[in-house]
Amino acid sequence: MKKLFLIMLSGLALFGCGESEQHQQARTQDQKTISELKNQLSDARESLDAKLQEREQLVKQVQELTNKIAQMEKLIAAKAEERKAKAGKGKGDENRIELMGAKAIAEFRAEQLDRRVEKLTQDLDRKEQEVASIRRNAQQQNTEVEQLRQRVAELQKADQTRTAELQSKLESIAKELRERSTAAEQFKRELDEKAELLGALKNAVSDASKLKTTAEADAAKVRENLTEALKQLETAKNETEQARQEITKHQSFGQQIHQQLDQWRQYGEQMKQEAERLSSQMNAAASEISELREQLEAAQAKLEEQAPSTIDRILGGPESKDDNAPQR
């Protein structure tokens, strides 16, 4: 029972540790996800700041080029007017073509810068969209993390409740085990007592069987004595009859025969009384033997000891009476 109790305690401890490890793993995974989202958001912000700085620089460059183009256009116009006034028509056309080429080159560079600025603007917009998406994902992840935290709190609360229930159940089981152990020990003591009582009963039955055998032998002896007494009585009767015949034949010995006859009659009465007494003792012995058998059967059924006092009386009675019988 102690081993079973220790196994149950170990199982509950392992169960609690398993749930704590699951909660710890879930919490670690949430923290890792949050850290990754923060890193992504930080990288996106740094990239966005770099793009914004690059855009500002390009805008400044475009503005500077635009200003330079305007200045060049003004300068070209002023020089054209000045050259028109100083030089002839052919030389002015060459200067004009030269200025127009410079203007075209400046416009081409400005167009390239515009395309580059537009591309950077598109990249910036895309980065902003990515940042917004990352923010939405972060917000969603924060919401999920909050939900997970609530879920973890609920699970922890449920785990605490379940742990309390299991603890209560474990205490109840331990109490029941203690009660059953006490009951088992009590049952073992009662079983040992009954085993001792059964051993004593077996010894009593064995003693009673021996006493029964002795009583039967004594009863047989009483029967033999009774038979012998009856034989003696019959012999006495025969002798009395012979004495009567002798009295008839020998009248001269009448007085002596009468005395002897009276003696024989007294002896016959004594023998008759002795025979009746022995018969009564034999019947009493048979009745007591029957009662002893019933008592032995009751002792076997109820696991009770039987004192052999009655059998002792049976064994002692005939011997004392035989000692008091007259001797021929």
Average pLDDT over residues 153-171: 83
**What is the model's pLDDT at position 11?**
56
6: nearest Cα among 175, 170, 181 = 170
Tell me the whole-structure pTM to 2 decimals.
Answer: 0.28
320 is in which domain, residue-wise?
201-324
Please tell me the total count of domains within the chain: 2
**What is the model's pLDDT at position 84?**
63
- What pLDDT band is residue 263 in, cutting at 50, 70 and 90? confident
Greatest mean pLDDT among 70-84, 247-261, 265-279, 301-315 lies in 265-279
Residues 185 and 212 in one domain: no
Residues 184 and 236 in one domain: no
- Is the predicted pLDDT of residue 307 greater than 50, yes or no? no
User: Please, is 185 exposed, middle or buried when counting C-beta atoms within 10 Å of its C-beta (0-12, 13-18, 19+)?
Assistant: exposed
Distance of CA 75 to the CA centre of its chain: 103
Q: The domain that contains 128 carries what CATH number?
A: 1.10.287
Residues 123 and 245 in one domain: no
Q: Is residue 249 part of a domain?
A: yes
Secondary structure, 3-state, 117-171: HHHHHHHHHHHHHHHHHHHHHHHHHHHHHHHHHHHHHHHHHHHHHHHHHHHHHHH
- What pLDDT band is residue 82 in, cutting at 50, 70 and 90? low
Residues 206 and 181 in one domain: no
Greatest mean pLDDT among 185-189, 235-239, 254-258, 283-287 lies in 185-189
- Is the predicted pLDDT of residue 62 greater than 70, yes or no? no
- Is the predicted pLDDT of residue 63 greater than 80, yes or no? no
Residues 239 and 158 in one domain: no
Which of 190, 224, 253 terminates a domain? The answer is: 190
DSSP string, 182-224: HHHHHHHHHHHHHHHHHHHHHHHHHHHHHHHHHHHHHHHHHHH
**What is the model's pLDDT at position 252?**
59
* Position with higher pLDDT, 176 vs 56: 176
Q: Is residue 289 part of a domain?
A: yes
- Is the predicted pLDDT of residue 78 greater than 80, yes or no? no
Is residue 204 within 8 Å of residue 300, measured between CB atoms? no
Residues 121 and 146 in one domain: yes
- Is the predicted pLDDT of residue 196 greater than 50, yes or no? yes
Residues 35 and 174 in one domain: yes
Which of 190, 210, 233 terminates a domain? The answer is: 190
Residues 145 and 245 in one domain: no
* Position with higher pLDDT, 116 vs 1: 116
- Is the predicted pLDDT of residue 179 greater than 50, yes or no? yes
- Is the predicted pLDDT of residue 240 greater than 50, yes or no? yes
Which of 159, 190, 221 terminates a domain? The answer is: 190
Residues 39 and 87 in one domain: yes
- What pLDDT band is residue 107 in, cutting at 50, 70 and 90? confident
- Is the predicted pLDDT of residue 228 greater than 60, yes or no? yes
* Position with higher pLDDT, 53 vs 95: 53
Interatomic CA distance for residues 51 and 44, integer angstroms: 10
- What pLDDT band is residue 174 in, cutting at 50, 70 and 90? confident
Residues 161 and 212 in one domain: no
Is the alpha carbon torsion for 135, 139, 140, 146 positive or negative?
positive
- pLDDT above 90 as % of the chain: 0
Average pLDDT over residues 48-55: 72
Q: Is residue 20 part of a domain?
A: no
Average pLDDT, the chain: 70
- What pLDDT band is residue 86 in, cutting at 50, 70 and 90? low
Residues 182 and 111 in one domain: yes
